[in-house]
Amino acid sequence: AVDDYLTREEKLAALKRDRSISNTSMNVIVPDAHGDWFNQRDDSFSHFMRMDGKKTKEVAIFKDYSLGVNTNRDAWVYNSSRQTVIDSTKRSVLAFNKALGELNSGTDASSVRQKYIKDVAWSSSLVFRLERKIPSDFSERRIQKSLYRPFFKQNLYFDPESGFTHRPGRWRYIFPDSKAKNLAICSSGVDNLVICINQNAKDAGQIALMTDHIADLHFNGDTQCFPRWLPGEQTKGAEGSLDFGESKEMPSGFSQDALPHFQAAYPGKPITEDDLFYYIYGILHSEDYRTGYANNLMKELPRIPRVATYEQFMAFVEAGQELARLHVHFEDVELYTGVKIEFTKIGQPSYRVTQMKWGKIKGKTGNAAKDKTTLIYNDWITVKNIPLEAQEYVVNKKSALDWVVERACVSIDKVSNIVNDFNDYAADMGSERYPLDLFLKVITVSLQTMEIVKGLPKLEIHPLDK
């Protein structure tokens, strides 16, 4: 081990001073009961109730959860434009069925796949169907809104049946169709919270983000999503469609053990499943929790403690509700008005975005050269006086604002040549300045999120969990 932030020359000089490993001071490292050599876990973490309830004999909070959807063909089935999703997916399905026809005519499967490689992303799910000669179909009803990255929505062709969604996870039970109303807490998967041995939870950012749409695999790390409801478990009506009804009539996402476990800590005090859902979201934003159990969280999914008092419990509930409002309804929050918007040309400004960029600091290179108080939106518009405090809200290893800057753009896939133009999403939303407004709203979300996080109660564990 060497000190942090040493230059290459300083590291080599330290080796030169030692001359030999025999002159280097050593620490004896003994693995713990988990087999951890470094970043050893806090065993008190195992006293808390686990969130995930599959493949375990332990009682858990949620009875079902899902990995984020893995399409293995994002360029074809994700797009800012609904029409582009229709065109590209329909073209890909048609190409697959043509390939199937050629295979039936005796052409070698490998040659068939190579012929249609620009129109079909040959994941194992489609190779399986090709080899077994199972045709696919297309339906516009399968298009849903999805959270592709933090605060960045896309249209998604979600088809768990025909192989065009490679790994659909359990989303057919969480959001069975575009009309389903639900919420899911998406936690960073194992190994995504801490990038390197010396990085702490605060550096890695928030570990949870809530959504009311299907989430992509990399929405929040290798995303694991825990639903409030399981509408896909409902029985079908007379016409074969799901009747979602009132939320209280939908199958709960909680196990039968979850609510009584938390109620037992506060006898005689009212706690509902909704309270518990938002309490969990509040706890996952606690810096005490993320820092104190960082070594556990980099190796296993979250477990949720019961806090010392009912008053603290309800404080986390209220914080979770406010955080959920900001994160789920980020498109509805107020624009941040503290910035200065400068128009660099005379005339009617264009709000079309190609690729937003941060300003530059003279004399510096790389990330250090980025002036994050200034955004070059396009050739017409520059945004100044952006508060640096907004950069403190980090999720999935980048600030929320960095995600908007990176993703709200025009891109072209190198293999398929499919264009993903975020201005198309703006047009669908009915406002050409949607990308700019999104940026300003995420400033509001970032500042208010960090204000709530910093105001959370100190994490004190209930005696039942010690």
Quick: pLDDT tens for 55-83. 788 999 999 999 999 999 999 999 999 99
Listed by start position, the domains of the chain span 8-44, 340-454
pLDDT at 38: 85
Sheet strands (E) in 132-257: 143-149, 152-157, 184-187, 208-211, 214-215, 224-227
Residue 246: the pLDDT is 52
| SS3 state at 54 | coil
DSSP-derived secondary structure for 314-383? HHHHHHHHHHHHHHHTGGGSPPP-SSEEEE-SSSSPP---SB-EEEE-TT--GGGGEEEEEEE-SSSEEE
**pLDDT, tens digit, for every residue of 152-209?**
999 999 998 888 999 999 999 999 988 999 999 999 866 544 433 344 444 557 899 9
Percent over 90 (pLDDT), the chain: 75
Predicted model pTM? 0.90
